[in-house]
Amino acid sequence: MKFTIYGSGCAKCKQLTENAEQAANAKGIACEIEKVTDTNAIIDAGVMRTPALAIDDEILVEGKVASADEIQKLLG
């Protein structure tokens, strides 16, 4: 499973990354985390508000720091 974090690398982005890792670990899912900090790449991905989280290239969270519990629910 691939998680992509879109954002500038700020504290909120780092928190979202940690929450995604916690959610994957809680579900026993192996994941790869990619961080996209380039503004043009973020825009090209269709992200309007950061931080954003994509799971397997589908943007599921945008403009907020989702908790580990919220991300677990997205994982099914």
**pLDDT (tens place) for every residue of the chain, 76 residues total:** 999 999 999 999 999 999 999 999 999 999 999 999 999 999 999 999 999 999 999 999 999 999 999 999 999 8
Q: Which candidate in 1, 10, 41, 43 is catalytic? A: 10
**pTM, rounded to two decimals:** 0.93
Q: Can you read off the two tokens belonging to residue 49?
A: 């508000």
Q: Which position has the token pair 């961080």?
A: 35
Question: Is 10 designated active site?
Answer: yes
Cα–Cα dist 21/67, whole Å:
11
Return all residues near 20 (Cβ < 8 A) that are at least 6 apart.
Answer: 3, 5, 31, 33, 53, 68, 71
Q: What is the pLDDT of residue 76?
A: 82
Alpha helices in 1-76 (DSSP H): 11-27, 39-44, 68-75
Q: What is the pLDDT of residue 30?
A: 94
Q: Which candidate in 3, 5, 13, 52 is catalytic? A: 13
Question: Is 31 designated active site?
Answer: no
CA angle, 69 as apex, 19 and 6 as ends, to 5°? 40
Domains and CATH numbers, the chain: 2-75 (3.40.30.10)
